[in-house]
Amino acid sequence: MMDLTAQDFIVDALSLIGATQMDQVPPAWEMNKALRALNHMLNTWSSERLMVRAMTRESFTLVDGTASYTIGSGADFDTAKPLKIDSAYIQDSNGYDHQLGIVEMARYNAFADKTTEGLPDCLAYDPGASQQATQAGTIYLWHVPGSAYTLYISSQKFLTEFSALTTTFTFEPQYGEAIKYNLATRLWRFYRKPTENIPADIVGIAASTKRNIKAINATQPRCKIDIPGCRGTYNIYTDE
């Protein structure tokens, strides 16, 4: 997949559905329309957890006495806005890690005391409004950090778009065929009559390549069995 670009995938997809001759490059306006379709597809894949190889792990320095932080391009935590925060922990000045429970905003809002400082126990994430000039969310910590701890988060983020037709392909190799065939299914209606069905082999390969990626990205579930007669504790923040 070395040195392939967005244009290469678009040209291949158009050729696959018979919209162009082999390796024929359509006019610029047509290519830009296909590029939009390609990026829309990648953004949709981002919301499918198993289409993303792994969570993004990042660290940020907290401010003593500050409980909330914006996260996004140019925000307090200057990084791409997460779709979802999967796990998090605090590292103290001695290098010890302390797991944070991930709670919904409704649970965080129900906390009566949001001013007590100390070592945070849980984190809530508000992704913000769907429509924003600059996409940013807000992270809330409870308790309020009583020191400049280091916060580590693992989050799900959008797959990187192709910013231009010349943008180089940076995905793992197994994504290549999935991108080409699934893009072909999206471009089909732009070039074919509504009564024409997409060839079954194109649909089949598009579906199977996505299934293969999801199978690779799937994690092994962990199961727990409570032993009868034994008493245990339950953490309402971590569900453990």
List the chain domain ranges. Answer: 6-51+168-217, 56-156
Per-residue pLDDT, 220: 61
Length of the chain: 240
pLDDT of residue 223: 56
What distances in angstroms separate CA 59 from CA 25, 67, 81, 171, one per listed residue?
Answer: 44, 16, 14, 24
Question: Within the chain, which residues score under 50 in pLDDT?
Answer: none
Residues 6+ apart with CB under 8 A from 23: 11, 15
In this predicted structure, what is the pLDDT of residue 53?
81
Look up residue 161 and give its DSSP letter: P
**Rounded distance, CA 197 to CA 203, Å?**
10
**Which of 83, 119, 121 is CA-nearest to residue 102?**
121
What is the structure's pLDDT at 236? Answer: 59
**The predicted structure's pLDDT at residue 23:** 83
Sign of torsion, CA 57 62 68 72?
negative
Please tell me the predicted confidence (pLDDT) of residue 22.
85
- Residue 151: partners with Cβ closer than 8 Å, 6 or more residues away: 59, 60, 61, 62, 88, 89, 90, 139, 141
| CB 107 within 8 Å of CB 91 | no
pLDDT of residue 54: 79
Per-residue pLDDT at 68 = 98
